[in-house]
């Protein structure tokens, strides 16, 4: 799988994902579950290094040519 997310973008996505998941766990009810589920998206893309939306729009923030 080709990486299209750079290091700083990946770190930001993982942090945002963790914050959303943690906030979702703290907030009870449906709103918390939705927040946690939305947090899985940036966390997953940050850990994988590939964003499907970036692929659609041909965006690449990965500077390392090895992973392209």
Per residue in 19-57, pLDDT (tens digit) is 999 999 999 899 999 999 999 999 999 999 999 999 999
Judge whether 56 lies within some domain. yes
pLDDT value at residue 65: 65
Q: What is the pTM of this model?
A: 0.86
* Domain limits for position 16: 7-67
> Would you place residue 2 in the very low, low, confident or very high pLDDT band (cuts 50, 70, 90)?
confident
C-alpha 34/C-alpha 21 separation (Å) is 9
The tally of domains found in the chain comes to: 1
> Would you place residue 67 in the very low, low, confident or very high pLDDT band (cuts 50, 70, 90)?
low
Judge whether 1 lies within some domain. no
pLDDT above 70 for 62? yes
Q: What is the DSSP letter of 2?
A: -
Alpha carbon distance, N-terminus to C-terminus of the chain: 9
């Amino acid at each position: 799988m080709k990486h299209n997310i750079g290091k700083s973008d990946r770190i930001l996505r993982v942090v945002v994902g963790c914050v959303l998941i943690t906030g979702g766990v703290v907030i009870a009810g449906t709103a918390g579950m939705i927040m946690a589920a939305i947090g899985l998206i940036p966390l997953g893309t940050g850990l994988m290094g590939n964003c499907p939306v970036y692929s659609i729009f041909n965006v690449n923030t990965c500077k390392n040519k090895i992973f392209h």
